[in-house]
Structure 1
Amino acid sequence: MDTQSTVREQLLDHAITLMMLRGYNGFSYRDLSELVGVKTSSIHYYFPSKDDLVLEAVKQYSEEVVRALQSIDPALPANEKLSLYTRFFGKTLGDGNQICLCGMLAADIETLPETVREAVQAFFRTNEAWLAKVLAQGVEEGTLVAKGKPESAARTLFAALQGSVIASRLFHTKSRLEDVEAMWRVAA
């Protein structure tokens, strides 16, 4: 089996990285053609429009995140699950210069088609639902603090994590992300 990635996979991978660094409006097919070494007409073969490319990138990114969530052992205490989730979120930062793809696209949402808006909303809902379960478990165990309904607390937590990634990028430090996690832990 050929272990080299296909042109389509390379295009998606580079598009995701470029969007995490620059946003939707910060890259073009020309940028991708230079990175992958193909003509822009070849990119249009795989993705007729930039919107098609972005939608597929969101789908791929979301699937990777869901796989990461599913890989977290359900038997773990909630505070450990949250810690693993936060570390995973921190990996998104890379060298401190990237933002979660869907967080970045959420900032550009008014310039994107409805299909991408819906995919980004689904990404947020999936993360918030997972966090709600973890927070409910943590409150029950006494390892996490969450005021109000778990669903509301999860939306607040996810918004704080997204914001911390932006601030971490701004200040070139992952400590902002760690600060958010610490706010939800029960003091020892």
Structure 2
Amino acid sequence: MDTTTSVRDQILDHAITSMMLRGYNGFSYRDLSTLVGVKTSSIHYYFPSKDDLVLEAVNVYSSGVMDALRTIDESLPADTKLSKYTMMFGKILSDCSQICLCGMLAADIESLPDNIRHAVQAFFRANESWLAKVLAQGAKEGTLAVNGKPENAARALYAAFQGSVLASRLFSTKARLEDVEASVKVTR
């Protein structure tokens, strides 16, 4: 057992990774107890139900992604911001074996309770909102091609990013992410 990280944090880390690899139904408390080196009753102490654990995992994951977005310098050109966003998605992919936690949960949405559904929807909306601002900036600068309203284009772009991680996983290549980014960049 890792003694530098709290048991609660280890449980969350392993749950997030497990869901990014196999989805909501792809792990159990027994799996986590083996990974963390604790009894399942210890997991229940921190997270009485799997839904409690998943909701906290979504909240932690979402906070981490939003924190990463806030580190992208506002003064950068829009195409550079989009490149940094693409690199962030590339880090999520790791070795092309896992996908975005909220993207994976979106596929399982029918089996999830409403509070988790709302948290996943909020994650999608936050990313789409950030992308809409970048696309609007890029349209003004002439660095990004935007057809229609930036909000609509952002939803389509975010869907393309989520789809690209699935295809990247399928084909074991991050090139699919780069294809999404290239689809909106203005070539000079």
Same fold (TM over 0.5): yes
Structure 1 unaligned spans of 5+: none
The residue type paired with residue 111 of structure 1 is: S
3-state SS of paired residue (1:147):
coil
Q: TM-score, normalised by structure 1?
A: 0.98
Map of 2:64 onto structure 1: 64
- Counting aligned pairs with the same residue, the percent is 73
3-state SS of paired residue (2:96):
coil
Map of 2:115 onto structure 1: 115
Q: Does 1:94 align with 2:94?
A: yes
Q: Output the CA distance in 2 between the equivalents of 1:74 and 1:4.
A: 35
Q: Output the CA distance in 2 between the equivalents of 1:182 and 1:16.
A: 29
The residue type paired with residue 83 of structure 2 is: S
Map of 1:103 onto structure 2: 103
Map of 2:184 onto structure 1: 184
The residue type paired with residue 6 of structure 1 is: S
- Deviation of 1:4 after TM superposition, in Å, equals 1.0
The residue type paired with residue 78 of structure 1 is: A
Map of 2:28 onto structure 1: 28
Output the aligned Cα RMSD: 0.7
Map of 1:5 onto structure 2: 5
Per-residue CA distance 1:4-60 (angstroms, 9 max, x = gap): 110000000000000000000000000000000000011000000000000000000
- Deviation of 1:125 after TM superposition, in Å, equals 0.3
Q: Does 1:41 align with 2:68?
A: no
- Deviation of 1:187 after TM superposition, in Å, equals 1.3
Per-residue CA distance 1:74-117 (angstroms, 9 max, x = gap): 00000000000000011000111001000000000000000000
The residue type paired with residue 169 of structure 2 is: R
How many equivalent pairs are there?
186
Per-residue CA distance 1:106-152 (angstroms, 9 max, x = gap): 00000000000000000000000000000000000000001010000
- Deviation of 1:62 after TM superposition, in Å, equals 0.2
Question: Structure 1 stretches (4+) deviating beyond 2 angstroms?
Answer: none
